Amino acid sequence: MGNYILYALMALLLAWSYRKDRQKTNQALMKAWKAFENILPEFLGIIILVGLMLAVLDPQVISRLIGQNSGWTGTIFAAVVGSIALMPGIVAFPTAAILLNNGAGYMQIAALISTLMMVGVVTMPVEIKYFGRKVAIARNLLAFFFSFLVAVIIAKGL
């Protein structure tokens, strides 16, 4: 659904831009292509890594790591897995639901989901390219620790 909205928005703005100023629109498209070309090698690297990772980390493997009553150890494990792995939400949420059904705790799942979304070890090369090493590391570390807070609050609430 998000994709349709994105495409509709793009088509609308592109049409508007084209009507208003053809040359400027061409320039914008050129700029889009250049920005894309600039980051393409990093993107491809990430996608191949993601493919490998998702092949290794199926729900059975993860639930062995963060199974029932795994407590803080399991939460830390979940956070580490979530930080390293990169899963699109479309894969992550159903996987998390399967893990919950297989007996994983809410605290571990919250840590996994939160780090999956906010911490990206694999995507660091892209982040470093735009923000530098220092920001990338600091942002990911802060998000990593923040995910434990999320995990604790969700564990208390559910």
Partner 1 sequence: MIAVMLVIVFVNHGLAIKAAGITTYTLKEMALVIPPIFILLGLLDLWVPRETMIKYMGEGSGTKGVILAFILGSAAAGPLYGAFPVAGMLMSKGAKFSNILIFIGAWSTTKIPMFLFEMAALGSKFAITRLLIDIPGVIILAYILSAMLGKEEIKRIYSRLL
* Minimum distance from residue 27 beta carbon to partner 1 (Å): 6
CB 17 within 8 A of CB 28: yes
67 or 125: whose CB is closer to partner 1?
A: 125
Q: Which residue has the tokens 């659904």?
A: 1
Interface pick for partner 1 out of 45, 59, 67, 80 (rule CB under 8 A):
45
Q: Which of residues 4-43 bind partner 1 (CB under 8 A)?
A: 5-7, 9-10, 13-14, 17, 24-25, 27-33, 35-36, 38-39, 42-43
93 makes contact with partner 1 (CB under 8 A): yes
69 makes contact with partner 1 (CB under 8 A): no
CB 115 within 8 A of CB 147: yes
Token digits of residue 99: 């893990």
Helices 2-20 and 22-56 pack at an angle, to 10 degrees, of 160
Backbone angles phi, psi at 151, to 5 degrees: -60, -45
3 makes contact with partner 1 (CB under 8 A): yes
101 makes contact with partner 1 (CB under 8 A): no
Q: Is 64 exposed, middle or buried (0-12, 13-18, 19+ CB in 10 A)?
A: exposed
* Minimum distance from residue 142 beta carbon to partner 1 (Å): 5
Interface pick for partner 1 out of 62, 65, 107, 110 (rule CB under 8 A):
110
Q: Which residue has the tokens 């956070």?
A: 79
* Minimum distance from residue 71 beta carbon to partner 1 (Å): 19
CB 91 within 8 A of CB 58: no
150 makes contact with partner 1 (CB under 8 A): yes
90 makes contact with partner 1 (CB under 8 A): yes
